[in-house]
């Protein structure tokens, strides 16, 4: 099996933002010239996430409210007072996950009609690195 790697960097304009990166994932797949296999998309930061979801604004607002409800920013986390006191954001990242794997067939991502690969910026403090790794033939 062969492997192709591409690296992207995102600097969000907002503290919280969902960015559709499906075009960049498709471009990496095209550059790989692979026809069949899997593509891994992974963010290398614990205050961001990668998801496969519908890119509908209402759903993304609901998603934001859901993760904030499950992992709110609070003052009583043990992580407070250390380098960056954003425990709630780290927990939100764990809820959404740091990577996805998408199969591809005949050079096309196997996504449903309303599925997109989204980069979730959860903290907005600095540029974030996303690794795309296509594995196939």
Residue 84: per-residue pLDDT: 60
CATH class of 2-136: mainly beta
Q: Quote the pTM value.
A: 0.92
Give φ, ψ of 102 to 5 degrees. -125, 125
Averaged confidence pLDDT in the chain: 93
Residue 83: per-residue pLDDT: 60
| In the chain, where the domains are located | 2-136
pLDDT by residue (tens digit) across 55-71?
999 999 999 999 999 99
pLDDT by residue (tens digit) across 8-61?
999 988 889 999 999 999 999 999 999 999 999 999 999 999 999 999 999 999
- Residue in this structure with the two tokens 């296509």, named with its chain if needed: 134
Residue 45: per-residue pLDDT: 93
Residues 75 and 61: beta-carbon distance below 8 Å: no
Residue 129: per-residue pLDDT: 97
Residues 109 and 27: beta-carbon distance below 8 Å: no
Closest Cα partner for 134 from 8, 40, 7? 40
Closest Cα partner for 42 from 30, 53, 55, 51? 51
Calculate mean pLDDT across residues 117-132.
94
Q: H-helix or E-strand containing 70?
A: helix 57-70
pLDDT by residue (tens digit) across 63-112?
999 999 999 887 777 766 556 668 888 899 999 999 999 999 999 999 99
């Amino acid at each position: 099996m062969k492997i192709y790697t591409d690296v992207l960097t995102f600097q969000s304009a907002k503290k919280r933002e969902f960015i559709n990166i499906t075009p960049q994932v498709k471009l990496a797949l095209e550059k790989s010239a692979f026809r069949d296999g899997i593509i891994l998309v992974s963010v290398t930061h614990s205050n961001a996430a990668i998801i496969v979801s519908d890119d509908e604004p209402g759903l993304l607002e609901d998603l934001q409210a859901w993760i904030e409800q499950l992992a709110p920013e609070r003052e009583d986390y043990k992580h407070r007072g250390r380098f960056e006191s954003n425990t709630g954001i780290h927990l939100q990242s764990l809820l959404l996950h740091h990577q996805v794997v998408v199969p591809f067939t005949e050079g096309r991502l196997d996504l449903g009609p309303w599925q997109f690969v989204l980069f979730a910026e959860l903290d907005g403090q600095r540029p974030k690195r996303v690794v795309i790794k296509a594995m196939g033939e």
